[in-house]
Amino acid sequence: MRRTGLVYHPDYLLHAPDNWPECPQRLTRTLELFDRVGIRQRMVPVAPRPATAAELAAVHGDDYIAFLEQFSADGGGQLTVDTVVSTGSYEAAVLAVGGCLSAVDELLAGRLDNALALVRPPGHHAERHAGTGFCLFNNVAVAARYAQSRYGLRRILIVDWDVHHGNGTERAFYDDPGVLFFSVHESPAYPGTGWLSDAGAGEAEGYTINAPFPAGAGDLAYQRLFDEVVLPVADDYRPDLVIVSAGQDSHFADYMGNMELTSPGFGRLTERLLSLCSGTGPRLLAVLEGGYNLDVLPTSLLAIAGALVGEEYPTVDPVPAPVDGMSDAARQRIDAVRTTHRPYWPFL
């Protein structure tokens, strides 16, 4: 039986800007479903601790960290055009990062096989000196830096399937071959980064893989991309740890994007990544990023959690899914990803 951790803390609800799509109900509605179907009892609670300033500083500037703490303590407000801070946001954000660090500790100590971090605010847009796109601190980036410095990991795979490009994570590791960053995202779309030719720099050339997907790509296209690109590259890279930036705004019913993934589809992508993790393979940590339709986010997270636990749960979407198929545009984009990265990964 797999030991699957669940990172959560009620203080994740403290980040609560008024009338904001990235809202506390994203977590409370998910936990209601997890309780109702009995999966929460199957998971091992992971108690988050606040990340320290030194841990945050591995990714973020000291002045940004200090500014955010003061801004939140003063009541917050509009940080950028798309990012709002409330009283309590700083505490939530520090604990969101810390929850991921606690999960890394449990995974690398061998006490867990995999884990799901139900944290907020999300992180993958946050850059060194800038919170943006609902994100304050980059949870997965700090977790990867922590796994490097604390445990000496030399190869970490980050897979980002949020509908938006993980610009902050890409930037953090663009010249670091110790982290292989893969992002599949809608393009063109916010934040306007993540182009095919952005493939890493210096000795890390080839260690950033962007798959900008056309609107309308669904389960089949994503699964082909994973089978033809992500899994072969990961097999060759042999990561010590797999971190998923699990943003479910690529769900067909999410109003922040135009992709057509289903809830069971997220489960199948999770299973594919878990196929890398059998036996003495790496541990896997899935960290919540986006996902804003409160009627379907809990179901898609249940599909992910079910895959992690290795048991079947009812993950049929509460609204009818579109007919899945592989468009010519999606097929061409997968081929383009393979061609672009063949110089670095010859088997593609």
Residues noted as catalytic:
125
Cβ proximity to Zn ion, 4 vs 167, nearer residue: 167
Cβ proximity to Zn ion, 120 vs 164, nearer residue: 164
CA distance 306 to 276: 17
Give the range of 64-72, 78-86, 102-110, 282-290 binding Zn ion by CB under 5 A.
282-290
Cβ proximity to Zn ion, 70 vs 80, nearer residue: 80
Q: Is 121 in the site for Zn ion (CB under 5 A)?
A: no
**Torsional sign, CA 110, 115, 118, 122:** positive
Q: Is 55 in the site for Zn ion (CB under 5 A)?
A: no
CA distance 75 to 32: 30
Q: Is 247 in the site for Zn ion (CB under 5 A)?
A: yes
DSSP assignment letter at 175: T
Q: In whole angstroms, how close is the CB of 289 to Zn ion at the nearest point?
A: 6
Q: In whole angstroms, how close is the CB of 162 to Zn ion at the nearest point?
A: 4
8 Å CB contact between 140 and 124: yes
Q: Is 251 in the site for Zn ion (CB under 5 A)?
A: no
8 Å CB contact between 210 and 195: yes
**Total binding residues toward Zn ion, as defined by CB under 5 A:** 5
What is the radius of gyration, based on Cα positions, of the chain? 18
8 Å CB contact between 257 and 299: no
8 Å CB contact between 287 and 244: yes
| HSE-up of residue 320 (Cα within 13 Å, Cβ side) | 2
Cβ proximity to Zn ion, 186 vs 219, nearer residue: 186
**Torsional sign, CA 198, 200, 206, 209:** negative
Q: Is 120 in the site for Zn ion (CB under 5 A)?
A: no
Q: Is 162 in the site for Zn ion (CB under 5 A)?
A: yes
Nearest to 50 by CA among 99, 95, 11: 95
Q: In whole angstroms, how close is the CB of 35 to Zn ion at the nearest point?
A: 26
Give the range of 85-93, 111-119, 206-214, 290-298 binding Zn ion by CB under 5 A.
290-298
Cβ proximity to Zn ion, 104 vs 256, nearer residue: 256
Question: Strand, helix or coil at 36?
Answer: helix
Cβ proximity to Zn ion, 198 vs 249, nearer residue: 249
Give the chain's largest Cα–Cα span: 54
Q: In whole angstroms, how close is the CB of 286 to Zn ion at the nearest point?
A: 15
CA distance 175 to 172: 8
Give the range of 30-38, 168-176, 195-203, 285-293 binding Zn ion by CB under 5 A.
285-293
Alpha helical stretches, state H, the chain: 25-37, 53-56, 62-73, 89-108, 139-151, 167-173, 219-225, 231-237, 263-274, 297-309, 328-341
Give the range of 41-49, 138-146, 264-272, 287-295 binding Zn ion by CB under 5 A.
287-295
Q: Is 164 in the site for Zn ion (CB under 5 A)?
A: yes
Cβ proximity to Zn ion, 248 vs 299, nearer residue: 248
Selected binder of Zn ion within 249, 254, 260, 317 (CB under 5 A) = 249
Q: In whole angstroms, how close is the CB of 256 to Zn ion at the nearest point?
A: 6
Q: In whole angstroms, how close is the CB of 180 to Zn ion at the nearest point?
A: 21
CA distance 252 to 348: 29
Selected binder of Zn ion within 194, 290, 298, 306 (CB under 5 A) = 290
**Torsional sign, CA 156, 218, 340, 169:** negative
173: phi then psi, degrees, rounded to nearest 5:
-120, 15
Give the range of 61-69, 135-143, 170-178, 239-247 binding Zn ion by CB under 5 A.
239-247
Q: In whole angstroms, how close is the CB of 122 to Zn ion at the nearest point?
A: 7
Q: Which residue is nearest to Zn ion (CB)?
A: 290
- Where does this chain bind Zn ion (CB under 5 A)? 162, 164, 247, 249, 290
